[in-house]
Structure 1
Amino acid sequence: MFNLIMRSVDWTSGQEAMPVGRFFEYTEDHIANQFRQNGSLLLDRLRALPCLFMPEGIRDEMSYVGQINRARVVGNEVSFEYTLDTEVPPLQNNMIYANRMALDMPRDFEFSRNHWAVKDVDLYRFLLRNIRPRRQRPTVFQIPEHENIEPALASAMMPFDAGFNSVYDSIRQAADAAGLRCRRADDIWENAAIIQDVVALIDRSRVVVCDCSGRNPNVFYEAGIAHTLGREVILITQSEQDIPFDLRYLRHVRYLNNDQGRAALTEALQARMQTILGH
Structure 2
Amino acid sequence: MLFNLIVRANETQPMLPSRMFEGTPEQLTSAYRTGTGFDFNALAQLPTVMTREFESDDMGAVATLGYMDTPSINPVISKPILRFPSQALLNLGLLDENCWQNKRTHWRLCEGDPFRLFSKSLDNSPLAIEPKRSSACDPNLIAVMMPFTDDPSIDPVYSALVEGSKRAGKNCKRVDEILTPTDITEDIFKLIASSSSVIADITGLNSNVMFEAGYAIGMGKRTVLLHQDDVPKLPFDVSHRRVFTYKRNKDGLAILSDRIFKILTNAQ
TM-score (norm 2): 0.50
Structure with greater contact order relative to length (CA < 8 Å, sep ≥ 6): 2
Larger radius of gyration: 1
Structure having the higher strand fraction is: 1
